[in-house]
Structure 1
Amino acid sequence: MEYALAPDGARIAWSSTGPDTGVGAGSPVVLIAGQGVSSRSWSPLLPTLGTRHRVITFDTRGVGDSEPGADERFTTAALAEDVVAVLDAAGIDRAHVYGHSMGGRVAQWFAINHPDRLGALVLGATSGGDHRGLTRTSDVAQLMARGDALSMGPLFFTDAFIASHPELVAAMFVRPSSVHTRRLLFGASTGHDAWDHLPGITAPTLVLHGDADEVTPPGNGERLADHIPNAAFGELPGLRHGYFLESDWATDAVLRFFAAHPLAA
Protein backbone atom coordinates (compact mmCIF):
# COMPACT_ATOMS: atom_id res chain seq x y z
CA MET A 1 0.00 0.00 0.00
CA GLU A 2 1.29 3.46 -0.94
CA TYR A 3 -0.07 6.94 -0.26
CA ALA A 4 -0.96 9.94 -2.38
CA LEU A 5 -1.31 13.43 -0.97
CA ALA A 6 -4.75 14.93 -1.68
CA PRO A 7 -5.25 18.70 -2.18
CA ASP A 8 -6.14 19.20 1.51
CA GLY A 9 -3.22 17.10 2.73
CA ALA A 10 -5.18 13.89 3.41
CA ARG A 11 -3.29 10.70 2.65
CA ILE A 12 -5.06 8.50 0.10
CA ALA A 13 -4.07 4.82 0.17
CA TRP A 14 -3.51 3.22 -3.22
CA SER A 15 -1.94 0.13 -4.71
CA SER A 16 -0.92 -1.17 -8.12
CA THR A 17 -1.39 -4.57 -9.74
CA GLY A 18 -0.19 -5.95 -13.08
CA PRO A 19 2.53 -5.03 -15.57
CA ASP A 20 3.62 -1.48 -16.23
CA THR A 21 4.73 -1.42 -19.85
CA GLY A 22 3.27 1.91 -20.94
CA VAL A 23 1.08 1.73 -24.05
CA GLY A 24 -1.08 -1.28 -24.96
CA ALA A 25 -0.65 -4.25 -22.65
CA GLY A 26 0.04 -2.84 -19.21
CA SER A 27 -1.60 0.52 -19.90
CA PRO A 28 -2.99 1.94 -16.64
CA VAL A 29 -6.56 1.52 -15.46
CA VAL A 30 -7.95 3.23 -12.34
CA LEU A 31 -10.83 1.53 -10.52
CA ILE A 32 -13.10 3.74 -8.36
CA ALA A 33 -15.14 1.87 -5.76
CA GLY A 34 -18.69 2.55 -4.62
CA GLN A 35 -19.93 4.47 -1.60
CA GLY A 36 -18.16 3.50 1.61
CA VAL A 37 -16.65 0.37 0.05
CA SER A 38 -12.90 -0.22 0.26
CA SER A 39 -10.71 -0.83 -2.75
CA ARG A 40 -10.70 -4.51 -1.81
CA SER A 41 -14.14 -4.78 -3.40
CA TRP A 42 -12.31 -4.95 -6.75
CA SER A 43 -10.01 -7.80 -5.67
CA PRO A 44 -11.80 -10.61 -7.57
CA LEU A 45 -11.30 -8.70 -10.85
CA LEU A 46 -7.60 -7.94 -10.42
CA PRO A 47 -6.20 -11.26 -11.71
CA THR A 48 -8.09 -10.81 -14.99
CA LEU A 49 -7.60 -7.06 -15.45
CA GLY A 50 -3.98 -7.30 -14.31
CA THR A 51 -3.03 -9.62 -17.16
CA ARG A 52 -3.45 -6.74 -19.62
CA HIS A 53 -3.21 -3.57 -17.57
CA ARG A 54 -1.48 -1.88 -14.71
CA VAL A 55 -4.48 -1.62 -12.37
CA ILE A 56 -4.62 1.14 -9.76
CA THR A 57 -7.04 0.80 -6.85
CA PHE A 58 -7.45 3.17 -3.93
CA ASP A 59 -9.52 3.69 -0.82
CA THR A 60 -11.87 6.67 -0.96
CA ARG A 61 -10.96 9.25 1.67
CA GLY A 62 -12.16 8.19 5.10
CA VAL A 63 -12.51 4.57 3.98
CA GLY A 64 -10.09 1.76 4.76
CA ASP A 65 -6.51 3.05 4.94
CA SER A 66 -7.23 6.55 3.57
CA GLU A 67 -7.48 9.56 5.85
CA PRO A 68 -10.77 11.51 5.83
CA GLY A 69 -9.29 14.99 5.62
CA ALA A 70 -11.57 18.02 5.54
CA ASP A 71 -15.34 17.55 5.59
CA GLU A 72 -15.80 19.99 2.72
CA ARG A 73 -13.85 17.64 0.42
CA PHE A 74 -16.74 15.16 0.49
CA THR A 75 -18.33 16.04 -2.83
CA THR A 76 -18.10 13.92 -5.94
CA ALA A 77 -16.25 16.72 -7.76
CA ALA A 78 -13.70 17.08 -4.95
CA LEU A 79 -13.30 13.29 -4.70
CA ALA A 80 -12.35 13.33 -8.39
CA GLU A 81 -9.38 15.50 -7.44
CA ASP A 82 -8.23 12.66 -5.17
CA VAL A 83 -8.09 10.48 -8.28
CA VAL A 84 -5.75 13.05 -9.85
CA ALA A 85 -3.56 12.89 -6.73
CA VAL A 86 -3.40 9.09 -7.00
CA LEU A 87 -2.40 9.29 -10.67
CA ASP A 88 0.31 11.81 -9.83
CA ALA A 89 1.65 9.62 -7.03
CA ALA A 90 1.70 6.61 -9.35
CA GLY A 91 3.55 8.59 -12.03
CA ILE A 92 0.70 8.20 -14.52
CA ASP A 93 -0.14 10.97 -16.97
CA ARG A 94 -3.21 9.33 -18.51
CA ALA A 95 -5.33 6.28 -17.68
CA HIS A 96 -8.54 4.47 -18.40
CA VAL A 97 -11.11 4.81 -15.59
CA TYR A 98 -13.79 2.39 -14.40
CA GLY A 99 -16.15 3.67 -11.70
CA HIS A 100 -18.89 1.67 -10.03
CA SER A 101 -21.96 3.21 -8.33
CA MET A 102 -20.79 6.31 -6.42
CA GLY A 103 -17.40 5.66 -7.97
CA GLY A 104 -19.09 6.19 -11.32
CA ARG A 105 -20.34 9.56 -10.12
CA VAL A 106 -16.81 10.53 -9.14
CA ALA A 107 -15.56 9.25 -12.50
CA GLN A 108 -17.97 11.56 -14.31
CA TRP A 109 -16.37 14.62 -12.75
CA PHE A 110 -12.92 13.26 -13.49
CA ALA A 111 -13.94 12.95 -17.15
CA ILE A 112 -15.51 16.42 -17.18
CA ASN A 113 -12.71 18.29 -15.41
CA HIS A 114 -9.63 16.32 -16.49
CA PRO A 115 -10.15 15.09 -20.06
CA ASP A 116 -6.40 15.26 -20.70
CA ARG A 117 -5.80 12.63 -18.00
CA LEU A 118 -8.42 10.18 -19.29
CA GLY A 119 -8.35 7.47 -21.92
CA ALA A 120 -11.59 5.47 -22.03
CA LEU A 121 -14.33 5.66 -19.40
CA VAL A 122 -16.56 2.91 -18.01
CA LEU A 123 -19.51 3.83 -15.80
CA GLY A 124 -21.17 0.96 -13.96
CA ALA A 125 -24.49 0.93 -12.09
CA THR A 126 -24.46 4.68 -11.66
CA SER A 127 -26.37 7.89 -12.37
CA GLY A 128 -25.83 11.49 -13.36
CA GLY A 129 -27.54 12.45 -10.10
CA ASP A 130 -30.63 11.67 -8.05
CA HIS A 131 -32.29 15.04 -8.59
CA ARG A 132 -33.07 14.25 -12.23
CA GLY A 133 -32.46 10.53 -12.20
CA LEU A 134 -34.53 7.54 -11.17
CA THR A 135 -34.32 6.94 -7.44
CA ARG A 136 -34.65 3.77 -5.39
CA THR A 137 -37.81 2.93 -3.49
CA SER A 138 -38.19 3.64 0.22
CA ASP A 139 -38.10 -0.10 0.96
CA VAL A 140 -34.72 -0.43 -0.75
CA ALA A 141 -33.44 2.68 1.04
CA GLN A 142 -34.36 1.13 4.38
CA LEU A 143 -32.48 -2.07 3.55
CA MET A 144 -29.44 -0.06 2.55
CA ALA A 145 -29.57 1.94 5.76
CA ARG A 146 -29.12 -1.30 7.70
CA GLY A 147 -25.94 -1.95 5.73
CA ASP A 148 -25.50 -5.61 6.71
CA ALA A 149 -24.85 -8.47 4.28
CA LEU A 150 -28.24 -10.07 4.96
CA SER A 151 -30.06 -6.88 3.89
CA MET A 152 -27.67 -5.71 1.19
CA GLY A 153 -26.68 -8.99 -0.42
CA PRO A 154 -29.95 -9.54 -2.35
CA LEU A 155 -29.79 -5.97 -3.65
CA PHE A 156 -26.34 -6.57 -5.12
CA PHE A 157 -26.30 -10.21 -6.19
CA THR A 158 -28.48 -13.02 -7.44
CA ASP A 159 -29.51 -15.74 -5.00
CA ALA A 160 -27.29 -18.25 -6.79
CA PHE A 161 -24.22 -16.04 -6.44
CA ILE A 162 -24.91 -15.40 -2.74
CA ALA A 163 -25.19 -19.14 -2.12
CA SER A 164 -21.97 -19.96 -3.97
CA HIS A 165 -19.84 -17.01 -2.78
CA PRO A 166 -20.86 -16.32 0.86
CA GLU A 167 -17.43 -15.08 1.97
CA LEU A 168 -17.13 -12.65 -0.94
CA VAL A 169 -20.62 -11.28 -0.29
CA ALA A 170 -19.92 -10.86 3.44
CA ALA A 171 -16.64 -9.04 2.71
CA MET A 172 -18.39 -6.64 0.36
CA PHE A 173 -20.43 -5.18 3.20
CA VAL A 174 -17.76 -4.71 5.84
CA ARG A 175 -17.88 -1.03 6.77
CA PRO A 176 -14.27 0.22 6.96
CA SER A 177 -15.21 3.79 7.91
CA SER A 178 -16.70 5.85 10.73
CA VAL A 179 -20.37 6.78 11.01
CA HIS A 180 -19.40 10.41 10.33
CA THR A 181 -17.57 9.47 7.13
CA ARG A 182 -20.46 7.32 5.94
CA ARG A 183 -22.80 10.28 6.38
CA LEU A 184 -20.44 12.53 4.44
CA LEU A 185 -20.18 10.00 1.62
CA PHE A 186 -23.94 9.60 1.52
CA GLY A 187 -24.28 13.37 1.21
CA ALA A 188 -21.67 13.44 -1.55
CA SER A 189 -23.50 10.78 -3.52
CA THR A 190 -27.02 12.19 -3.11
CA GLY A 191 -25.74 15.71 -3.84
CA HIS A 192 -24.16 14.66 -7.12
CA ASP A 193 -25.63 16.35 -10.21
CA ALA A 194 -23.59 16.20 -13.41
CA TRP A 195 -26.43 15.94 -15.93
CA ASP A 196 -25.82 19.34 -17.54
CA HIS A 197 -22.09 18.61 -17.89
CA LEU A 198 -22.28 15.07 -19.28
CA PRO A 199 -22.58 16.22 -22.93
CA GLY A 200 -19.11 17.73 -22.53
CA ILE A 201 -17.46 14.35 -21.91
CA THR A 202 -15.19 13.64 -24.86
CA ALA A 203 -13.74 10.28 -23.79
CA PRO A 204 -15.01 7.04 -25.34
CA THR A 205 -17.57 5.86 -22.79
CA LEU A 206 -19.19 2.52 -21.97
CA VAL A 207 -22.16 2.44 -19.59
CA LEU A 208 -23.00 -0.90 -17.94
CA HIS A 209 -26.08 -1.66 -15.84
CA GLY A 210 -27.87 -4.71 -14.49
CA ASP A 211 -31.50 -4.69 -15.53
CA ALA A 212 -32.55 -5.93 -12.06
CA ASP A 213 -30.69 -3.19 -10.15
CA GLU A 214 -32.94 -1.76 -7.43
CA VAL A 215 -30.20 0.34 -5.80
CA THR A 216 -29.69 2.47 -8.91
CA PRO A 217 -32.61 1.69 -11.23
CA PRO A 218 -31.43 0.70 -14.72
CA GLY A 219 -33.13 3.60 -16.45
CA ASN A 220 -30.31 5.74 -15.07
CA GLY A 221 -27.80 3.86 -17.21
CA GLU A 222 -29.81 4.50 -20.34
CA ARG A 223 -30.10 8.19 -19.48
CA LEU A 224 -26.35 8.42 -18.88
CA ALA A 225 -25.62 6.89 -22.26
CA ASP A 226 -28.09 9.28 -23.88
CA HIS A 227 -26.39 12.31 -22.29
CA ILE A 228 -22.78 11.38 -23.16
CA PRO A 229 -21.88 11.78 -26.83
CA ASN A 230 -21.46 8.43 -28.64
CA ALA A 231 -21.59 6.43 -25.41
CA ALA A 232 -22.23 2.70 -25.67
CA PHE A 233 -24.73 1.04 -23.35
CA GLY A 234 -24.67 -2.55 -22.15
CA GLU A 235 -27.48 -4.06 -20.11
CA LEU A 236 -26.92 -7.22 -18.07
CA PRO A 237 -30.08 -9.36 -17.90
CA GLY A 238 -31.07 -10.54 -14.43
CA LEU A 239 -28.12 -8.90 -12.66
CA ARG A 240 -28.24 -6.43 -9.80
CA HIS A 241 -26.12 -3.63 -8.39
CA GLY A 242 -23.01 -5.77 -7.87
CA TYR A 243 -22.96 -7.10 -11.44
CA PHE A 244 -19.23 -6.39 -11.80
CA LEU A 245 -18.34 -9.21 -9.40
CA GLU A 246 -20.87 -11.65 -10.82
CA SER A 247 -20.52 -11.24 -14.58
CA ASP A 248 -17.47 -12.47 -16.50
CA TRP A 249 -19.13 -11.03 -19.60
CA ALA A 250 -19.05 -7.54 -18.08
CA THR A 251 -15.33 -7.78 -17.32
CA ASP A 252 -14.62 -9.08 -20.82
CA ALA A 253 -16.66 -6.20 -22.26
CA VAL A 254 -14.59 -3.70 -20.27
CA LEU A 255 -11.33 -5.25 -21.46
CA ARG A 256 -12.53 -5.21 -25.06
CA PHE A 257 -13.58 -1.58 -24.72
CA PHE A 258 -10.21 -0.51 -23.35
CA ALA A 259 -8.43 -2.48 -26.09
CA ALA A 260 -10.56 -0.72 -28.72
CA HIS A 261 -9.48 2.67 -27.36
CA PRO A 262 -5.73 2.45 -26.65
CA LEU A 263 -4.18 5.31 -24.73
CA ALA A 264 -1.86 6.07 -27.64
CA ALA A 265 -4.92 7.29 -29.52
Structure 2
Amino acid sequence: MTHATAPDGTRIAYQVQGCGPPLVLLSGQANNHHWWDPVRADFHDTRSTITLDFRGTGESDKPDVAYSTAGFADDVIAVLDTAGVERADVYGTSMGGRVAQWVAARYPDRVCALVLGCTSPGGRHALERGPEVRRALAQPDAAAARQALTDLMYTPAWSAAHPGPHATLGDPAMPPFARRRHFAASAGHDAWDVLPQITARTLVVHGTDDLFNPTANAALITGRIPGARLELIPGARHAYFEEFRTVASPLVRHFLDAG
Protein backbone atom coordinates (compact mmCIF):
# COMPACT_ATOMS: atom_id res chain seq x y z
CA MET A 1 0.00 0.00 0.00
CA THR A 2 1.42 3.37 -1.07
CA HIS A 3 0.15 6.84 -0.23
CA ALA A 4 0.26 10.19 -1.97
CA THR A 5 -0.33 13.49 -0.18
CA ALA A 6 -2.98 15.80 -1.58
CA PRO A 7 -2.52 19.59 -1.58
CA ASP A 8 -4.48 19.89 1.69
CA GLY A 9 -2.37 17.21 3.39
CA THR A 10 -4.86 14.35 3.04
CA ARG A 11 -3.14 11.00 2.45
CA ILE A 12 -4.53 9.12 -0.57
CA ALA A 13 -3.88 5.39 -0.82
CA TYR A 14 -3.15 4.05 -4.29
CA GLN A 15 -2.31 0.71 -5.87
CA VAL A 16 -0.28 -0.15 -8.97
CA GLN A 17 -0.50 -3.49 -10.78
CA GLY A 18 0.86 -4.79 -14.07
CA CYS A 19 3.50 -3.42 -16.42
CA GLY A 20 3.34 -1.05 -19.34
CA PRO A 21 1.77 2.34 -20.11
CA PRO A 22 -0.37 3.51 -17.17
CA LEU A 23 -4.15 3.35 -17.07
CA VAL A 24 -5.88 5.11 -14.16
CA LEU A 25 -9.10 3.40 -13.05
CA LEU A 26 -11.53 5.54 -11.05
CA SER A 27 -14.32 3.90 -9.05
CA GLY A 28 -17.86 4.89 -8.14
CA GLN A 29 -19.31 6.87 -5.25
CA ALA A 30 -18.64 5.55 -1.73
CA ASN A 31 -16.47 2.74 -3.10
CA ASN A 32 -12.78 1.96 -2.73
CA HIS A 33 -10.39 0.53 -5.32
CA HIS A 34 -11.87 -2.97 -5.01
CA TRP A 35 -14.61 -1.75 -7.38
CA TRP A 36 -12.17 -2.71 -10.15
CA ASP A 37 -11.07 -6.09 -8.81
CA PRO A 38 -13.25 -8.17 -11.16
CA VAL A 39 -11.89 -6.58 -14.36
CA ARG A 40 -8.58 -4.75 -13.85
CA ALA A 41 -6.56 -7.79 -14.98
CA ASP A 42 -8.27 -7.48 -18.38
CA PHE A 43 -5.88 -4.61 -19.12
CA HIS A 44 -2.62 -6.04 -17.79
CA ASP A 45 -1.41 -7.69 -20.96
CA THR A 46 -0.73 -4.25 -22.48
CA ARG A 47 -0.54 -1.77 -19.60
CA SER A 48 -0.26 -1.18 -15.88
CA THR A 49 -3.28 -0.07 -13.86
CA ILE A 50 -3.38 2.55 -11.13
CA THR A 51 -6.30 2.63 -8.72
CA LEU A 52 -6.86 4.76 -5.63
CA ASP A 53 -9.08 4.91 -2.61
CA PHE A 54 -10.93 8.21 -2.81
CA ARG A 55 -10.64 10.24 0.38
CA GLY A 56 -13.20 8.88 2.81
CA THR A 57 -12.74 5.29 1.60
CA GLY A 58 -10.36 2.36 1.97
CA GLU A 59 -6.91 3.15 3.32
CA SER A 60 -7.08 6.85 2.51
CA ASP A 61 -7.59 9.55 5.13
CA LYS A 62 -11.17 10.45 5.92
CA PRO A 63 -11.36 14.13 6.80
CA ASP A 64 -14.84 15.34 7.76
CA VAL A 65 -14.82 18.29 5.39
CA ALA A 66 -16.64 19.07 2.15
CA TYR A 67 -15.69 16.80 -0.77
CA SER A 68 -16.13 17.57 -4.49
CA THR A 69 -15.51 15.76 -7.75
CA ALA A 70 -13.09 18.53 -8.75
CA GLY A 71 -11.26 18.00 -5.46
CA PHE A 72 -11.10 14.26 -6.11
CA ALA A 73 -9.48 15.13 -9.45
CA ASP A 74 -6.74 17.02 -7.61
CA ASP A 75 -6.21 13.88 -5.51
CA VAL A 76 -5.76 11.87 -8.71
CA ILE A 77 -3.06 14.26 -9.87
CA ALA A 78 -1.32 13.97 -6.49
CA VAL A 79 -1.26 10.19 -7.01
CA LEU A 80 0.20 10.55 -10.50
CA ASP A 81 2.85 12.96 -9.19
CA THR A 82 3.86 10.60 -6.40
CA ALA A 83 3.90 7.60 -8.75
CA GLY A 84 6.10 9.50 -11.19
CA VAL A 85 3.54 9.29 -14.00
CA GLU A 86 3.61 12.21 -16.40
CA ARG A 87 0.71 11.13 -18.63
CA ALA A 88 -1.83 8.33 -18.40
CA ASP A 89 -4.99 7.01 -19.93
CA VAL A 90 -7.94 7.59 -17.58
CA TYR A 91 -11.03 5.36 -17.27
CA GLY A 92 -13.67 6.47 -14.81
CA THR A 93 -17.05 4.87 -14.14
CA SER A 94 -20.06 6.34 -12.32
CA MET A 95 -18.78 9.03 -9.91
CA GLY A 96 -15.29 8.10 -11.09
CA GLY A 97 -16.39 9.24 -14.54
CA ARG A 98 -17.38 12.59 -13.07
CA VAL A 99 -13.95 12.88 -11.48
CA ALA A 100 -12.32 11.88 -14.77
CA GLN A 101 -14.11 14.75 -16.53
CA TRP A 102 -12.37 17.22 -14.22
CA VAL A 103 -9.01 15.49 -14.56
CA ALA A 104 -9.19 15.77 -18.36
CA ALA A 105 -10.57 19.32 -18.38
CA ARG A 106 -8.22 20.80 -15.75
CA TYR A 107 -5.09 18.80 -16.50
CA PRO A 108 -5.13 18.18 -20.27
CA ASP A 109 -1.38 17.61 -20.41
CA ARG A 110 -1.70 14.64 -17.99
CA VAL A 111 -4.34 12.67 -19.94
CA CYS A 112 -3.71 10.65 -23.09
CA ALA A 113 -7.05 8.93 -23.76
CA LEU A 114 -10.23 9.24 -21.70
CA VAL A 115 -13.01 6.70 -21.12
CA LEU A 116 -16.18 7.83 -19.35
CA GLY A 117 -18.43 4.99 -18.25
CA CYS A 118 -22.02 5.09 -16.90
CA THR A 119 -21.57 8.71 -15.85
CA SER A 120 -23.20 12.12 -16.12
CA PRO A 121 -22.25 15.74 -16.83
CA GLY A 122 -24.16 16.76 -13.71
CA GLY A 123 -25.93 20.03 -13.09
CA ARG A 124 -29.20 21.21 -14.58
CA HIS A 125 -28.47 19.73 -18.00
CA ALA A 126 -28.17 16.16 -16.73
CA LEU A 127 -31.00 13.66 -16.60
CA GLU A 128 -31.53 12.56 -13.00
CA ARG A 129 -32.66 9.10 -11.93
CA GLY A 130 -36.42 8.74 -11.53
CA PRO A 131 -38.32 9.19 -8.26
CA GLU A 132 -39.06 5.45 -8.04
CA VAL A 133 -35.32 4.74 -8.05
CA ARG A 134 -34.67 7.33 -5.35
CA ARG A 135 -37.46 5.88 -3.20
CA ALA A 136 -36.14 2.34 -3.59
CA LEU A 137 -32.65 3.36 -2.50
CA ALA A 138 -33.90 5.46 0.44
CA GLN A 139 -36.24 2.87 1.99
CA PRO A 140 -35.59 2.29 5.71
CA ASP A 141 -35.14 -1.48 5.38
CA ALA A 142 -31.37 -1.75 4.78
CA ALA A 143 -31.59 -5.19 3.19
CA ALA A 144 -34.30 -4.06 0.79
CA ALA A 145 -32.34 -0.92 -0.13
CA ARG A 146 -29.25 -3.01 -0.79
CA GLN A 147 -31.26 -5.36 -3.01
CA ALA A 148 -32.60 -2.35 -4.89
CA LEU A 149 -29.04 -1.17 -5.48
CA THR A 150 -28.01 -4.64 -6.63
CA ASP A 151 -30.91 -4.66 -9.11
CA LEU A 152 -29.79 -1.31 -10.49
CA MET A 153 -26.25 -2.61 -10.94
CA TYR A 154 -26.93 -6.05 -12.43
CA THR A 155 -29.61 -7.96 -14.31
CA PRO A 156 -31.59 -10.45 -12.19
CA ALA A 157 -30.26 -13.43 -14.16
CA TRP A 158 -26.65 -12.41 -13.61
CA SER A 159 -27.22 -11.68 -9.91
CA ALA A 160 -28.78 -15.10 -9.45
CA ALA A 161 -25.73 -16.76 -10.97
CA HIS A 162 -23.29 -14.46 -9.14
CA PRO A 163 -24.60 -13.96 -5.58
CA GLY A 164 -21.60 -11.91 -4.52
CA PRO A 165 -20.45 -10.25 -2.40
CA HIS A 166 -20.13 -7.48 -4.97
CA ALA A 167 -17.37 -4.88 -4.72
CA THR A 168 -19.59 -2.26 -6.39
CA LEU A 169 -22.11 -1.90 -3.55
CA GLY A 170 -20.08 0.40 -1.33
CA ASP A 171 -17.09 0.32 0.99
CA PRO A 172 -18.42 -1.50 4.08
CA ALA A 173 -15.88 0.16 6.38
CA MET A 174 -16.67 3.69 5.26
CA PRO A 175 -17.88 5.94 8.09
CA PRO A 176 -21.40 7.37 7.67
CA PHE A 177 -20.17 10.96 7.51
CA ALA A 178 -17.88 10.07 4.60
CA ARG A 179 -20.77 8.41 2.76
CA ARG A 180 -22.73 11.64 3.10
CA ARG A 181 -19.72 13.62 1.89
CA HIS A 182 -19.42 11.37 -1.17
CA PHE A 183 -23.11 11.68 -1.94
CA ALA A 184 -22.89 15.48 -1.75
CA ALA A 185 -19.80 15.54 -3.98
CA SER A 186 -21.46 13.43 -6.66
CA ALA A 187 -24.77 15.30 -6.43
CA GLY A 188 -22.97 18.64 -6.67
CA HIS A 189 -21.03 17.69 -9.80
CA ASP A 190 -21.48 20.02 -12.77
CA ALA A 191 -18.87 19.86 -15.52
CA TRP A 192 -21.15 20.99 -18.35
CA ASP A 193 -19.24 24.19 -19.04
CA VAL A 194 -15.79 22.58 -19.06
CA LEU A 195 -16.56 19.48 -21.13
CA PRO A 196 -15.90 21.32 -24.44
CA GLN A 197 -12.40 22.09 -23.13
CA ILE A 198 -11.43 18.39 -23.03
CA THR A 199 -8.84 17.67 -25.70
CA ALA A 200 -8.16 14.00 -24.91
CA ARG A 201 -9.43 11.36 -27.30
CA THR A 202 -12.66 10.28 -25.57
CA LEU A 203 -14.88 7.20 -25.49
CA VAL A 204 -18.24 7.31 -23.68
CA VAL A 205 -19.68 3.93 -22.63
CA HIS A 206 -23.08 3.23 -21.09
CA GLY A 207 -25.56 0.39 -20.66
CA THR A 208 -28.87 0.77 -22.45
CA ASP A 209 -30.78 -0.39 -19.35
CA ASP A 210 -29.08 1.84 -16.78
CA LEU A 211 -31.70 3.46 -14.54
CA PHE A 212 -29.26 4.38 -11.77
CA ASN A 213 -27.58 6.87 -14.08
CA PRO A 214 -29.99 7.23 -17.02
CA THR A 215 -28.53 6.27 -20.38
CA ALA A 216 -29.47 9.61 -21.98
CA ASN A 217 -26.60 11.23 -20.07
CA ALA A 218 -24.13 9.38 -22.30
CA ALA A 219 -25.33 11.22 -25.40
CA LEU A 220 -25.24 14.54 -23.52
CA ILE A 221 -21.59 14.02 -22.59
CA THR A 222 -20.68 12.83 -26.08
CA GLY A 223 -22.21 15.92 -27.60
CA ARG A 224 -20.21 18.24 -25.34
CA ILE A 225 -16.73 16.74 -25.79
CA PRO A 226 -15.15 17.46 -29.19
CA GLY A 227 -14.74 14.28 -31.23
CA ALA A 228 -16.05 11.98 -28.50
CA ARG A 229 -17.35 8.56 -29.52
CA LEU A 230 -20.37 6.86 -27.93
CA GLU A 231 -20.80 3.10 -27.41
CA LEU A 232 -23.96 1.68 -25.82
CA ILE A 233 -23.99 -1.89 -24.48
CA PRO A 234 -27.41 -3.48 -25.05
CA GLY A 235 -29.11 -4.87 -21.95
CA ALA A 236 -26.47 -3.61 -19.54
CA ARG A 237 -27.28 -1.85 -16.28
CA HIS A 238 -24.99 0.36 -14.19
CA ALA A 239 -22.20 -2.17 -13.57
CA TYR A 240 -21.85 -2.91 -17.29
CA PHE A 241 -18.06 -3.19 -16.96
CA GLU A 242 -18.41 -6.25 -14.70
CA GLU A 243 -21.48 -8.11 -15.93
CA PHE A 244 -20.71 -7.40 -19.58
CA ARG A 245 -16.92 -7.49 -19.22
CA THR A 246 -16.51 -9.70 -22.30
CA VAL A 247 -17.94 -6.83 -24.32
CA ALA A 248 -16.81 -3.81 -22.31
CA SER A 249 -13.16 -4.65 -21.61
CA PRO A 250 -12.25 -5.44 -25.25
CA LEU A 251 -14.15 -2.34 -26.35
CA VAL A 252 -12.16 -0.10 -24.01
CA ARG A 253 -8.86 -1.85 -24.74
CA HIS A 254 -9.33 -1.48 -28.49
CA PHE A 255 -10.08 2.23 -28.08
CA LEU A 256 -7.03 2.79 -25.88
CA ASP A 257 -4.72 0.78 -28.12
CA ALA A 258 -5.94 2.58 -31.24
CA GLY A 259 -4.28 5.77 -30.08
Pairwise TM-score range, normalised by the shorter structure: over 0.9
| 3-state SS of 1:252 partner | helix
Shift of 1:7: 1.0
Say whether the 8 Å CA contact 2:64–2:177 is kept in structure 1. no
Say whether the 8 Å CA contact 2:209–2:234 is kept in structure 1. yes
State the partner residue of 1:172: 168
Change (3 A) 1:243 1:217: same
State the partner residue of 1:256: 254
**Aligned 1:188-199 pairs, distance under 5 A:** 188-199=185-196
Partners of 1:89 and 1:188 in 2: how far apart? Answer: 24
Shift of 1:197: 1.0
Query: How many residues get paired?
Result: 253
Normalised by the size of structure 2, how large is the TM-score? Answer: 0.94
State the partner residue of 2:81: 88
Change (3 A) 1:163 1:219: same
Shift of 1:168: 4.2
The unaligned stretches of length 5 or more in structure 2 are none
State the partner residue of 1:152: 149
Partners of 1:156 and 1:116 in 2: how far apart? Answer: 33
| 3-state SS of 1:82 partner | helix
Change (3 A) 1:130 1:143: farther
Amino acid at match of 2:169: F
State the partner residue of 1:28: 22
Partners of 2:70 and 2:89 in 1: how far apart? Answer: 18
| 3-state SS of 1:29 partner | strand
| 3-state SS of 1:238 partner | coil
Q: For residues 45-99 of structure 1, what are the alpha-carbon distances to aligned partners after superposition, in whole Å with 9 as ceiling and x for unaligned?
A: 1221112111001111011111123613x11111100000111111101000000
State the partner residue of 2:36: 42
Counterpart pick for 1:187 among 176, 181, 184:
184
Say whether the 8 Å CA contact 1:76–1:188 is kept in structure 2. yes
Say whether the 8 Å CA contact 2:123–2:192 is kept in structure 1. no
Do structure 1's residue 137 and structure 2's residue 130 form an aligned pair?
Answer: yes
Shift of 1:172: 2.7
State the partner residue of 1:214: 211
RMSD: 1.3
Say whether the 8 Å CA contact 2:64–2:178 is kept in structure 1. no
Do structure 1's residue 59 and structure 2's residue 56 form an aligned pair?
Answer: no
Partners of 1:172 and 1:200 in 2: how far apart? Answer: 30
Shift of 1:132: 1.3
Shift of 1:142: 2.5
Partners of 2:18 and 2:181 in 1: how far apart? Answer: 33
Say whether the 8 Å CA contact 1:37–1:176 is kept in structure 2. no
Q: Which runs of structure 1 show a deviation greater than 3 angstroms over 4 or more consecutive aligned residues?
A: 145-149
The unaligned stretches of length 5 or more in structure 1 are 20-25
State the partner residue of 1:77: 70
Normalised by the size of structure 1, how large is the TM-score? Answer: 0.92
State the partner residue of 1:4: 4
